[in-house]
Amino acid sequence: MNEAFIVAAARTAAGKKDGRLKDWHPADLGGAIIDALLDRSGADPDLVEDVIWGCVTQVSEQAANIGRQVVLASRLPEHVPGVSVDRQCGSSQQALHFAAQAVMCGVMDVVIAGGVESMTRVPMGLNTVFPTQHGYGHYKGLRVGGRYPSITFSQFAGAEMMVAKYGLSKDDLDRFSLASHQRGALATRQGRFSEEIVPIAIVGAQDDQALHMQDEGIRYDASLEAMAGLKKISPRMVC
């Protein structure tokens, strides 16, 4: 069996809702990352045999096979195909697994794997709640509904089940979350993410040109006191 190697890796800095990446179309964002990856690896674009792209909400700006749209938004040749993968929150990871499997079994030699999700431009529930509310049915068919009656598939409800199974408390999770933010803040200050992040051109707060180079989701002033005051999310809020 062949061995699979990651030759180069790149990412944007993470954004937050209505944050610094809000003006970027998801396909354009993916195309920019592929171009940066080609630059970093020095790979010949003509040798790329497939692009496997993870995305959960494949509707609106992430519809029409976002994997192919990303290819067309990059400098890859038109003959390079693209395919989209939805394994929910593990979609990009699964894209990488599929790429490695293709190389390991000898079907392909050079594959790009990645993913994109703009939850500002394509909000959560746009492909589930919105169609149901407008008369286009529900993703749960009769057979699934019969097997799981009165059950809403939700990562929030699933999280509550895991809390009960493993005996976790809110204090336990708050401490874990605080440590995560503290470690992320320290790593950012020490420049540990700098090599993997591709600077992305954005419009700054003063309508000037700027570069997005730092993850937005890290709370540098996080505290247990602030976390204790956060409201819980009800599973009824999602579909």
DSSP string, 173-214: HHHHHHHHHHHHHHHHHTTTTTTTBPPEEEE-TTS-EEEE-S
pLDDT at residue 206 above 80?
A: no
Q: Which domain holds residue 159?
A: 152-237
SS3 99: helix
pLDDT at residue 7 above 80?
A: yes
Measure Cα distances from 183 to 186, 189, 198, 221, 228 in Å: 5, 10, 21, 12, 20
Q: Grade residue 64 by pLDDT with cuts at 50, 70 and 90.
A: very high
Contact 53, 27 (CB under 8 A): no
Within a domain: 46:
no
Torsion of CA 153, 159, 164, 166, to 10 degrees: 130
116 vs 54: CA distance, rounded Å: 7
Look at residue 155 in the predicted model and tell me its pLDDT.
Answer: 85
Contact 61, 27 (CB under 8 A): yes
Q: What number of other Cβ atoms are within 10 A of residue 237's Cβ?
A: 10
Q: Grade residue 239 by pLDDT with cuts at 50, 70 and 90.
A: very low
Within a domain: 183:
yes
Q: Which amino acid is at 145?
A: G
Look at residue 235 in the predicted model and tell me its pLDDT.
Answer: 53
Measured at the alpha carbon of residue 40, what is the angle toward residues 21 and 30, in degrees to the nearest 5? 30
Look at residue 154 in the predicted model and tell me its pLDDT.
Answer: 85
Within a domain: 230:
yes
Q: Grade residue 50 by pLDDT with cuts at 50, 70 and 90.
A: very high
Domain count of the fold of the chain: 1
Within a domain: 198:
yes
Structure tokens at 219: 């709370």
Percent of the chain clearing pLDDT 90 (strictly above): 85
Contacts of 19 (CB under 8 A, 6+ apart): 120, 216
Q: Grade residue 238 by pLDDT with cuts at 50, 70 and 90.
A: very low
69 vs 91: CA distance, rounded Å: 17
Percent of the chain clearing pLDDT 70 (strictly above): 96
78 vs 63: CA distance, rounded Å: 19
pLDDT at residue 58 above 90?
A: yes
Look at residue 228 in the predicted model and tell me its pLDDT.
Answer: 86
What mean pLDDT is reported for the chain?
Answer: 93
Within a domain: 6:
no
Mean pLDDT of 119-125: 94
Measured in degrees and rounded to the nearest 5, phi and psi for residue 209 equal: -75, 135
Measured in degrees and rounded to the nearest 5, phi and psi for residue 136 equal: -105, 25
What size, in residues, is the chain?
A: 239
Query: Can you give the pTM of this predicted structure?
Result: 0.92
More confident residue, 203 or 236: 203
Residue of 26, 220, 188, 223 lying closest to 115 (CA atoms): 26
